[in-house]
Amino acid sequence: MAKNLRKFANLQFLNTVDLALMRRLLERHAAALHGFDGSVFDQGPEKAREALRAYFQGPDGDRPEGLIADLFRIAELGNAQGLELLLEAARRRGVAIAPASKREEEKQEPKQVALRCFLDHPQVFNEASDLLSVATMSAPVELRGADVGLQAHTDRRALAAFEREAKRLFEADLRGSYCRVGCYHDNDRLILIVTHGTPLKTTEVIEDGMDRVVSFREIARAVLSYDAGSGRLEIGRIAKARCDEFADIFARCLIGKPGFFSRPDAKKLYTLAPAERSGFGFRIAHAFDPAVRKVTIFEAEVQHVGLDRRTGRTRVYQRLILRDPSGDALASLCQHMPGIRFGPDWQLSRLGIEVEIDSGTTKPDRVRVMLNPPAVAKFKRHRHEHRIFEILHHNGLVYGRDARPTAVAAE
């Protein structure tokens, strides 16, 4: 934690930060500041920056926990990705955070923008902070509902009911009674950010030269994302043991359909059947999307399965994972095991796919997708989520009523 804090409050930042903003941030914690005299801001920029450098590069115990918590929240959005989220949130709320003049442009560095929004536009900041949880979610639990086209209700009464039920589960897991639900719409998707506490932590801190014990809960954010058009619900940053319960709460409180995500095939989402049918020559088709430069398969996993005569169940007897930096893992697998064929005995169990997407520069964006049927498609779901799912759909790798029955690549 201390290392990350120093990365944010580094010398470059302390030498360039808007001193008026930094003064306001520190004044929020004036009663708990020890080892820093706020009057130094009245003694000129050089004196103020020298004092800031000494304070933030000094012992960790000198800074109040409230200030550390603020700085960590600001640090999360103090980068290029955070700046994009802040700008999106500002546009939605009609708030102008663009520079007012040429002189102000130098203060548009992401950390400075995050600090200013934290102080001047807390609603914008909180929304961007919430949506960061979506942007950094990589492996959500996915569930397919019993039908498509059912819109979720997001009126005050429905959201309050969801919040009460979510709070009950967090309390049962000893995460405290705090629970706040943020509701956002991203094109056709409904996104709920559920802010809650974590298990209680107790630690020793130093204050006024004395050690004392403090207890606290850190903030965590769960994410639920629902697409009515496909009837799919994504749940992230929640213990997997609780995901089915949260899905049922969502179905009861917001859709009005108890058991909507409880069907036996609710987690049957992805398939590698097209690749197994095509064999080791399977390729990911992407010519339909001109923005996609290249799609390669950098990893493949196969497993040898058979019937266990003792238990009567199918079991895995052998598993082989092959990674190929050149991006043709299936062909490499064929060379290493020329005798195997996909069928009842040998099954393709996982594919690692890398997608290169035109970013408008010489260097493309690269998204790595780990496809592990029937329920896992692991990748960072931020800017290119829709495009990735279009590729999976187009190649028949998505199972269900909205998937293509036959992969284009297999044809």
For residue 134, what pLDDT is reported? 84
The DSSP element (H or E) to which 155 belongs, if any, is: none
261, HSE (Cβ side, Cα atoms, 13 Å): 30
Rounded to whole angstroms, the Cα distance separating 15 from 37 reads: 18
Instruction: Enter the tokens of residue 2.
Output: 């201390």
> Do residues 300 and 322 lie in contact, with contact meaning Cβ atoms separated by under 8 Å?
yes
Rounded to whole angstroms, the Cα distance separating 337 from 351 reads: 17
Rounded to whole angstroms, the Cα distance separating 362 from 358 reads: 8
For residue 339, what pLDDT is reported? 82
Of 313, 319, 321, nearest in space to 370 by CA: 321
Mean pLDDT by 10 residues, the chain (411 residues): 60 86 91 84 92 80 77 88 91 80 63 93 92 82 93 96 97 93 88 92 75 82 93 92 96 96 93 95 96 96 90 89 93 89 92 94 92 91 85 90 40 34
> Do residues 242 and 349 lie in contact, with contact meaning Cβ atoms separated by under 8 Å?
no
For residue 57, what pLDDT is reported? 78
Tokens 């058009």 found at: 229
Beta-carbon contacts of residue 204 (< 8 Å; ≥ 6 apart): 211, 212, 213, 214
Q: How many CB atoms lie within 10 A of CB 96?
A: 9
For residue 98, what pLDDT is reported? 67
What DSSP state is assigned to residue 147? Answer: S
For residue 4, what pLDDT is reported? 54
Beta-carbon contacts of residue 26 (< 8 Å; ≥ 6 apart): 33, 36, 38, 67
Q: DSSP per residue over 31-97, as a string?
A: GG--S--GGGGGG-HHHHHHHHHHHHTS-GGGS-HHHHHHHHHHHHHSSHHHHHHHHHHHHHHT---
Rounded to whole angstroms, the Cα distance separating 365 from 224 reads: 26
Rounded to whole angstroms, the Cα distance separating 228 from 148 reads: 6
For residue 59, what pLDDT is reported? 65
> Do residues 195 and 219 lie in contact, with contact meaning Cβ atoms separated by under 8 Å?
yes
For residue 63, what pLDDT is reported? 77
For residue 33, what pLDDT is reported? 83
